[in-house]
Amino acid sequence: MSYSRPRYIEQTEFGRSWTRYSAKYKLYLYREGGFDVHNEAFRIPVLFVPGNAGSHKQVRSIASATASAFVELVGKRPELVDQGMVGYDFFTLGLNEELTALHGYSILEQADFVNDAIRYILAQYPRTRARHRLSKDTEFASPASVVVVGHSMGGVVARTAFTLGNHMPGSAQALFTLSTPHSSPTASLEWHVEQVYTRVNQFWRHGFRNGTLDDVSLVSIAGGNLDSMINSDYTYVGSLAPARNALSVLSSGINDVWLGQDHQSVLWCGQMARKFAAMMIEIMDARSPSQLVPLEQRMAIMRRQLLPSIDRSIETQTHDRPMRADNYRYVQLAEDSVKLHPLDLRKLAERSQARPRKARALHLLPSGIAAKDKVLQILYDPQLFADASSDSERTDVQLALLGCRGNDTGTVADADLD
């Protein structure tokens, strides 16, 4: 359980001149009683998007925990303010408690409103930052990006916003989703919902290939089997974004949480709110226009905060070089397409087993996909092939590892590489 002293300040200036949905939806600024004494935003902007039939008030637990953690931290170490740790302003959307899970046009309208809200929020900061001097010695950049947090269908709405014409490139570089069904809708009762999902997911897959989303981080947190509304398999984002940009995790696997969450309690669980706050505190940097630390550093922080140590074993050493996720390649294959030649697999295993335990470079990963979809996931170090005696041997072993197999004509079929 978490506790808060919330105040919600409606942004009355965010009217018809900013958005065509001003009569339908509302934008509020959250303020925590006892901590936030100013009624205008001047720190780092965060936008909360509620889900299906959700309320703007659902932001209170994570906003309160983040405010409390920040005040406690700077009380002990005030010098961190000069390093860009200036706290967050949580904005939250009132979306009329619409049933976005059942209506595709509602997803599009809310996504359009999200982009308008981001544009309005960012426009306030040059004026408010000038009025509230956060540091005597450090100049902070005017925010060019908003952190977006979406619950349930709010995460889908947030991703849809990236695909619309009124989206400002670079205006949202960090997206956190809680119990969001990313891969497909949970209830296919309207054809337009399916159409929106198809178009949005296609945009995100191509966006990381063409550079559109290079600086965007996407984190999906699922409640596990206690969430009776959203199958946690639907929250997996590994098929939408590469590992350098994305992370999927179950709340029961998060350090210091270790609990499954039902669909609503993922927002107000005390352990979850405190962990979310700790992660948010570490990634802030008001000296940068994005208001965040760079992507690589940001992802490393989020993995350390959200993944148990067993899943972070790839940060150990391999050979005589630091072992980082960037040094590795990842492949995911349907089980019925995998055919490993025994001789090649033995060679591969011998090379990996010959190394110290912490330096082994071949890992079989448990699948995060539904059990009915039999999938083999492999994380491997390309250096494993460096000592092959010939190019042909190296190619043979790589093809065996990647699950490629010869077809009836004797040629090699392509593996589906992520």
Catalytic positions, please? 152
Amino acid, res. 107: I
What are the C-alpha distances in Å from 62 to residues 32, 268, 387?
11, 7, 50
What are the C-alpha distances in Å from 269 to residues 2, 279, 283, 370, 410?
6, 16, 22, 26, 56
Helix axes 342-353, 391-401, angle to 10 degrees: 100
Q: Judging by DSSP bridges, how do beta strands 44-49 and 375-380 pair with one another?
A: unpaired
d(CA 381, CA 360): 9
Q: Are the C-beta atoms of residues 218 and 235 closer than 8 Å to each other?
A: no
What are the C-alpha distances in Å from 119 to residues 30, 108, 123?
18, 17, 6
DSSP 8-state assignment for residue 389: S
Contacts 24+ apart (CB under 8 A), 128-137: 128/40, 128/41, 128/42, 129/42, 131/40, 131/42, 132/38, 132/42, 134/42, 134/43, 134/81, 134/86, 134/286, 135/81, 135/82, 135/86, 137/82
d(CA 74, CA 56): 28
Helix axes 153-161, 191-207, angle to 10 degrees: 60
d(CA 101, CA 190): 9
Please report which residue ranges of 132-240 form alpha helices under DSSP H: 153-161, 191-207
